[in-house]
Structure 1
Amino acid sequence: MEKGMLTLSKWGNSLSVRIPKKILETFQLSNQDKLTYSVEKDQIVLKPVKKESPFRKMFDGFDTKAYFADEPTNKEDDWQSPQGKEDF
């Protein structure tokens, strides 16, 4: 477990803590990423909120079973053989 010292600094009406670059890189954190915090046994615990893929979010709630329920055949379009420089 890595340990170090951080300093509270004034930021507007609040105080802030700077997180060292090494820790940001380890957890793949960047500006505006979200963290949750909790207080456990006299300790402040910060945890990164998992980043949600925009692609995954686009299909949130998609029901595959319902999509294929009425038509069990493949719903892909068949464009026949490549016509240009497609690489398959």
Structure 2
Amino acid sequence: MIDPKKFEDFGARLSAALAASPAVDIEKNARAMLGGFFARLDLVTREEFDIQAQVLARTREKLKALEARIDALEKPPAGQP
């Protein structure tokens, strides 16, 4: 059976090799490039989106309430044709 200690040692060596490899630089460069690309797209953050969704929900509730008030005001009083 293979000793688990050897797996841990192999994992540690692999992590150390990857940390010293150009893969780390490639990842940093890719992140920077994608960050610049997304910045030019004029996107909103998730937090800004959630805030606007809440504002829209409150506005829809107010609109429903106002529509109900208008409907009640436009109804003829009871007993009148």
TM over 0.5: no
Structure richer in helix, relative to its length: 2
How high is the TM-score relative to the length of structure 2?
0.30
More relative contact order, 1 or 2 (CA 8 Å, 6+ apart): 1
Q: Which has the larger radius of gyration?
A: 2
Structure richer in strand, relative to its length: 1
How high is the TM-score relative to the length of structure 1?
0.29
